[in-house]
Structure 1
Amino acid sequence: MIKTDDVTLTNFQWPTGYYNDGIEVGLGQSDKLDFGYLVSEVPASAAGTYTTNKFQAAPTKLTKNTINQAHQLQAVVMNSACANSCTGQQGEQNALTEQQLMAQKLGIDANLVGVASTGLIGAQLPMAKITAGIKQLSPHHDDNVTKAVLTTDKKPKHACVQLQMGGKTVTITGFAKGSGMIHPKMATMLGFVTTDAAIDGNLLQQTLSQTVDTTFNQITVDGDTSTNDMLVVMANGMAGAPKLTSTDDADFSTFEQGLHLVLQELAKQIAADGEGATKLVECNVKGAFNELEGQEVAKAIVGSNLVKAAIFGQDPNWGRIISTIGMTNAHVDINHVDIEVNGIKMVKDSLGLPFDEQAAHDSMGASKVVIDVDLHVGDATGQAWGCDLTYNYVKINASYHT
């Protein structure tokens, strides 16, 4: 179990007042769920973070603009196989049409509907299939929607916590997709979080933006930022707990911890499921000059192709780690850097230590490899997650289009 103070992950379940569906409408080349929706029974406070790629996809732009109007949503319609990115005015119209059709189906205002797409860049949405799919969607309380957004993912990613707020049980549940083109700066990544907590929309946006910096923004698979990255949170208040309106509210820190844990767990699951990956790589940095530099160093290490390849080959080559540290803009005392891999001390004061290389090699065969770095220039920390670089990553991406 993973704990953040008093908050613990629990089994997957939807918060009060949400339903979903995931179906197959033939958007891709194989028989799989590829279209779905996520709906709250009532309008919910909403917040989002979005890709920093200059070529922002039509559905991403539409959802961002929709949420920013009043920080409210009631539904999100989503698909895989087609990103609806770099599709010009027709792509923008298709996203808008999809939003309007979903609003009509649910009998709600179009400004309460978000749109999310992932898949191949450059292809127009097949609107006949999208229109037919919207008609087929029906309320369910299973997890099929978590499967409908997958592309090269090996499995769905989801996380859930339950909290006590104002004497009520509040649930926060999230799911995400992401396997390649993962280097969020907010990957191809889509994330959706639902909660029955009540929180002011602007406060939810502020909390989400801050939490993303230490969770989703600290993962990398291949250093590429997608045109469609998006994370959306909906809070419908149906648990009956008092509404959060300020960071000074008694239950705010509890909610913040719960949201952080859900996002962190989803981020780690995405990193572990990187295209072709066999290992989750975690880097923990301490002794950094400030938190930004701690995060920078940690993400640089898990993002280094040389480090990732060494981990795949179970090669305890600490030289690749220390050279990556030296390429960052962080403050570094070049005479006092310490490095451990899976608890095996390899470097002290920037000099190599004698260690059992066979034992280190064997330890790197585990499904998780942990790199610990002490920079000895301050009191700040940083953490990031990535995966190893394997032959299969090249194989998958050499033929992704075909």
Structure 2
Amino acid sequence: MNRSTYAAGTSGSVARAAAPFVPLALLATTGALLAYLWKWPCRFNGAWNDGTQQFLNFCYTDIYPLWWNEKLDQGLAPYFGHPVEYPVGIGALMWMIQRIVGGLNDPGVWFYDLTVLLMAVSLVVGVVIMAKLALLQRRPWDAAWYALAPALILTAFINWDLLCGVLALGAFLAWSRQKHFLAGVLLGLAVATKFYPVVFLGPLFLLALRTRKFPAFLYAVGGMVITWVVVNLPYMLLAFQGWKRFYVFSSERGADWGSVWFFFQSKQWPYLGDSAKVDTLGIASFGLMCVAIAVLALTARTRPRLMQLCFLVLAAFMMTNKVWSPQYVLWLVPFAVLARPNWKPLVLWQIAECAYFFAIWLYLVHLQPGNEMLGIGDTAYFATVWGRVLAIAILAAFVVRDILWPEHDVIRQGGVDDPIGGVFDGAPDHFALRLDRPAARDEAPAAPA
């Protein structure tokens, strides 16, 4: 083969390999644009300054009011000049954008626009990373769910969650390529941005326990801890009171919108509705779910896939948390799709999330004196709260079924094990809790009937 022929063949291979990513990036850009246009009534018509219209137009965001609530309008630096209720990854981003827009006309709107631009980039990069992960499962187009999921379009720019999402997905891409320390670094950055990715250590530990791949797990933990400390330590040393605000606020806040604990308190249920016990109840219920997931992971005949366990533990965290904001759906979309890319339960879940999105704003209108007839009451609102709990529980039940009977798992057809699992993929089992004969690791799952 001459050089020109080789170059042409190589170029063609590269083009074919990149084929899914370009259109998926365009789909993600479309999703970001649609999400921005969804906020149009607030962004361009001033509804953010009206406590009723921003809810009736369904275009509320945390980003715009925090320009004032976090004293960014006064030029105060996050943590140093004013305590901030977010981890330092978000606070640092606030400070960076504050430096850029501080002297502009209408800086609050500019603060929103630049923040949204960075979140849009995070979405596009996150979709491409998810496509790379899904490609390992031979289904790259599954990433279109993350690009254009209806609930994503509705909630994308409420807060900074997409930034954490791209870091978490990047961590698992690094893990799949057996770059364990880098995976830990990215996971540490994610935890420094939104705390929830710390729960992913559980699935990694359980699978490391079954396969004895502890060096990989410890490298990742080391990278995460070192990164988190490096990022947080300057704030801890120089602005401790401002830095600790996030952790104090998280521990002191009560049950909030969307959580089942808010329902129990609103209905004054005995014990479950006791506001003094909400932290204990939340931690205990999450702990019980984690024990159940651990038992499942260690007793299943065929070792669960990494994405299956990540979805289950994140779903458990969300369902038992004392706060469940509408935008938390962004946390779960990539992992739900990578865990079980079957469209029917995903559509059901998206419908439930969208129903809750509209219900929460109408409920907040209803609670305003004089606006009772404009919104919805307790019955309709709490129906949507339990609707999304049920939808996620159904999705989780299907994932558990796939773990117990892997012949139902579309990813495992043809003898595939755990393509995103990195060192876990195809590894022999060394530890499991079961009474019956263990399934051989080289035994291909039976094809579905």
TM-score w.r.t. the length of structure 1 is 0.26
Higher strand share: 1
- Rg (Cα) greater in structure: 2
TM-score w.r.t. the length of structure 2 is 0.24
